Amino acid sequence: MLLSLFPAVIAGHALFNCSSDQTIRRGMSVNISCNYKPSNDSESFIVELQSNSELCSVRKMKNSWTEQLCRNHCRFIWIQETAQMAFEVSNLQINDTGIYRCVVTRFIPPPSVILREERTFVQVIAQPTVSVSHVRAMGGFPMMLCSSEGFYPSALDQMWIRNGEFQNASLTYSINQTNPDRSFTLHSYLNISDCVNYSCWVNHSSLSQPTILHMTECYRNGDENGWIILVTSALIILTILIITVVCERSRRAHHRSPVRMNDTPASDLYSHVEYEIYSVLGDHRPVPCSPVRVHSSPQ
């Protein structure tokens, strides 16, 4: 590392291997400086940004720049007033962590000579998403869960606080996971048997200060609230069903009550009329009427 601070002379040209570190949050951008100023306009050279592969390459001939190959998230920056050059890499992800090299190579006048190589180590960090919740163990025992998800690098401190005092790590059960994007997840479980104040304390290099999440209520209250909601919902559904059945039966009874005259047989109707007549007359029986004969007087 000390040797990298001094220039090495190769064929009359200075080759500098300078190193720097940058820590960038996931999703942000970084500028990789080349720290080289052309000595005159007659020089023609190539500026390349390299990591595990070539990310961007531009060529300068006289006073014009020509972009040869640059990936979507990379671009070349040239500030003409100060004759400074750099590369910008945007939307950094965890997989972008590594060493980036800016290499300036002169090809006119020949032979080709590396004029400068600047190395920058980029550390991409990801902030954890912290949450706390009540859960039940396989045996039905109440537990609390503190989860820190999507953080990078892997070094993270996560502890439980009970009534303001940190709990011994032996009282907790933790599970570490590696996510597909190389970030990490940590689940920490704590057995509880009383209703006191619990908090989850998390510290990580991506945080400006530790994160502390408090439990607002004990497990028993949360459990009782769940049962109250469940029973109330069941009663509402049952009431709606009873009202629906009663209304349906009332509607059917209403449609069956009217007597349709067309469906009453003629013999039944005659018997009914006859019964009404005899009821009015009582014991009196009608005198049968014989046909009246009309005699015509002789003329």
- 102 near 3, Cβ under 8 Å? no
pLDDT of residue 9: 40
Closest CA to 171 of 179, 163, 160: 160
pLDDT of residue 39: 74
Which CATH number do you get for residue 71?
2.60.40.10
- Residue where one domain finishes, among candidates 176, 195, 221: 221
Pairing of strands 184-191, 142-151: antiparallel
pLDDT of residue 150: 96
Domain membership flag for residue 120? yes
pLDDT of residue 4: 41
Sheet holding 74-79, edge to edge: 30-33, 84-89, 74-79
pLDDT of residue 15: 55
pLDDT of residue 42: 72
**Domain range for 61:** 3-125
Is the domain of 162 the same as that of 209?
A: yes
Is the domain of 105 the same as that of 170?
A: no
pLDDT of residue 104: 92
Low-confidence ranges of the chain (pLDDT < 70): 1-18, 41, 216-227, 256-299
pLDDT in tens, 19-63: 789 999 999 999 999 888 877 767 788 999 999 888 999 998 877
Q: Percent of the chain beyond pLDDT 90?
A: 39
Q: What is the total count of domains within the chain?
A: 2
Phi (first) and psi of residue 100, to 5 degrees: -115, 135
- Residue where one domain finishes, among candidates 168, 199, 221: 221
- 104 near 119, Cβ under 8 Å? no
pLDDT of residue 8: 42
- 22 near 90, Cβ under 8 Å? no
- Total-model pTM: 0.62
pLDDT of residue 282: 52
Domain membership flag for residue 22? yes
Is the domain of 80 the same as that of 191?
A: no
Is the domain of 109 the same as that of 15?
A: yes
